[in-house]
Amino acid sequence: MADVFLKPTTLSDIDNIMTWVNDPEIAEYFASLGNITREQETEYLEKMLASANDRLFSIFVDGVYAGQCSLNQIHWPSRNARLFLVLKKKFHGRGLAREVIAAVLRIAFDELALNKVWLIVREKNEKGRHVYRKAGFETEGVLREEYRVKGKFVNMVRMAILEREYRQWYHQKPKEVRK
Ligand SMILES: CC(C)(COP(=O)(O)OP(=O)(O)OC[C@H]1O[C@@H](n2cnc3c(N)ncnc32)[C@H](O)[C@@H]1OP(=O)(O)O)[C@@H](O)C(=O)NCCC(=O)NCCS
């Protein structure tokens, strides 16, 4: 089994991050990726790292940089946060997202004491929705024509997992089901 490690992101991860932000096959899943310069990404990263409401993690698989995940828009009064996750293409197809999600949810619920983690995923991103469903997320609704990607309006699905659901999903199920 691969060793998946989430390292708190620092500015020194910029070169790793630049290896995927403009990858068209990845950018198509997000409204704000593609055509990003190193300067723009550095500026974004500096802002995120200074923010009290964002936690960024660089994903390492067997010691090799594999992508990013983060808890963004943390609303401390309501104890919720938005999950972002991207794996570099060469790491797809190994079921790694499941392990990354488990690791980031552990941080969200055990370390940050959040009550809810939510995300939005493109309605057509069947793989993303499958991965999140399997990680215990429930669909909360469809945001109709929420984003405009390549000139087309696309629906986004909002999904979320509550702290109590996380406890049940990850700790009270037999290992073979949890896997
Ligand atoms: C979404 C993402 C994180 C998943 O990564 P991954 O762990 O490599 O996913 P895998 O390819 O191993 O597939 C995981 C599961 O999805 C299933 N799957 C793959 N393609 C699928 C598809 N087109 N439709 C439905 N399910 C699919 C696999 O069969 C596997 O299912 P299983 O766990 O039940 O066996 C990764 O593809 C990624 O970074 N994509 C680009 C960015 C993105 O979409 N992020 C999420 C949106 S917010």
- Over residues 49-106, the pLDDT tens digits come to 999 999 999 999 999 999 999 999 999 999 999 999 999 999 999 999 999 999 999 9
- Assign a CATH topology to domain 4-178: Aminopeptidase (3.40.630)
Amino acid making up residue 74: I
Does residue 30's CB lie within 6 angstroms of at least one atom of ligand 1? no
Q: Of 91-100, 111-120, 145-154, which range is least confident?
A: 145-154
- Residue 66 to residue 17: CA distance in whole angstroms: 9
How many helices and strands in the chain, by DSSP H and E?
7, 7
Q: Does 151 score more than 60 pLDDT?
A: yes
CB neighbours (10 Å) of residue 150? 9
pLDDT band at residue 172, thresholds of 50, 70 and 90?
Answer: low
pTM exceeds 0.85 for this model: yes
175, pLDDT greater than 50: no
Which residue is closest in CA terms to ligand 1's atom 27?
Answer: 127
| 83 CA: nearest ligand 1 atom | 48
Determine if ligand 1 sits within 6 Å of the CB of residue 33. Answer: no
Tens-place pLDDT, residues 123-134: 999 999 999 999
Q: What percent of the chain has pLDDT over 70?
A: 94
> Which residues, listed in sequence order, are joined to residue 149 by a DSSP beta bridge?
152
Domain ranges of the chain: 4-178
